[in-house]
Amino acid sequence: MAIKKIPYYVLAISCVAIGLYPAIYFIIDRKFGLLASKSDLLLADTLWNTFFYTHIILGGIALLIGWIQFNKKFRTKNLKIHKSIGKIYVLCCLISGIAGFYIALHATGGISPKLGFLAMAIVWFFTTLFAFIAIKNGDVIKHQKLMIYSYAACFSAVTLRIWLPVLTIYLGGFLSAYKIVAWLSWVPNIIVAYFIIKYQFKNQQPITI
C-alpha cells in the first residue's frame, strides 16, 4: 500500500463504517447514543421519526457511496457508473438534507445546536444542489469543487462521532459537548475542503462538456 494512499483508505473505511451505522437502530433498542437525550414525547412523534429515519438512512447511503467518486482512476474508467452513483448520491443528500433541517429544529441543548445543525443542513443541501446544476450545465470544475464541499458536509457524520465522545469526557457532560459538536462536526471539514480545492485546482483550467 503506497503511503500517499493511506488517507484515502482511512477515509473509505470510516465512511463505510459510519454509513452502515444507521442499521444499529433496527437491530437493538434504539434509545442509545444521540436518541438517549431525546424525550419520550419526541421519540413517539410520527413526523419526527419519519424525518429522523429518512435523514440517517439516506445520509448513510450518501456517506457509504460518496467516497468512491473521488477515485480518479475509477471515475475515468467507469464514467457511466460514476454518473449513476452520482445521481443516487445527489438524491440522497437533497432528501436527507431536508430531513436534517427539520430534525435540527428539535436538536437537544438549546439554540446553539439548533443553529449549528440547521446551518450544516443548508450548506450540505445547497452545495450538492449547485454541484448537480453545474454538471448539468457542463461545468466540470465547478461541479468537482462543489462536490468536495458537499462530501465534507456529509462527512460530518464521521467527525461528529469522533468529537462527541472525546469532548463529552473532556467537558464532563453530553450537553456541553453537543453544543460545540453541532459546529465542530462540520465547520472544520468545510475549511479543510477549501484548502483541498485550493491545492488541487490551483493550476486547473475550466473544463466544460
Q: Give the global pTM.
A: 0.86
pLDDT at 8: 64
pLDDT at 138: 93
95-122 burial code (b ≥16 CB/10 A, e <16): bbbebbbbbbebbbbeeebbebbbbbbe
Q: Which residues lie closer than 8 Å to 74 by C-beta, 6 or more apart?
A: 68, 81, 82
137: phi then psi, degrees, rounded to nearest 5 = -90, 0
Q: 82: left (phi > 0), else alpha (psi -120 to 50), else beta? A: alpha
DSSP at 207:
-
Which sequence spans correspond to the domains of the chain?
A: 3-200
pLDDT at 1: 39
CB atoms within 10 A of CB 204: 12
* CA–CA distance, 120 with 154 (Å, rounded to integer): 9
Residues forming beta bridges with residue 139, ordered by sequence position = 208
* CA–CA distance, 82 with 207 (Å, rounded to integer): 18
| Residues 60 and 89 sit within 8 Å (Cβ to Cβ) | no
Long-range contacts at 132-139 (CB < 8 A, ≥ 24 apart) = 132/90, 135/86, 138/208, 138/209, 139/206, 139/207, 139/208
pLDDT averaged over 10-residue windows placed end to end, the chain, 209 residues: 56 70 64 72 90 93 89 87 95 97 93 96 98 95 96 93 91 92 96 93 62
pLDDT at 5: 58
Which cell is 194 given? 477549501
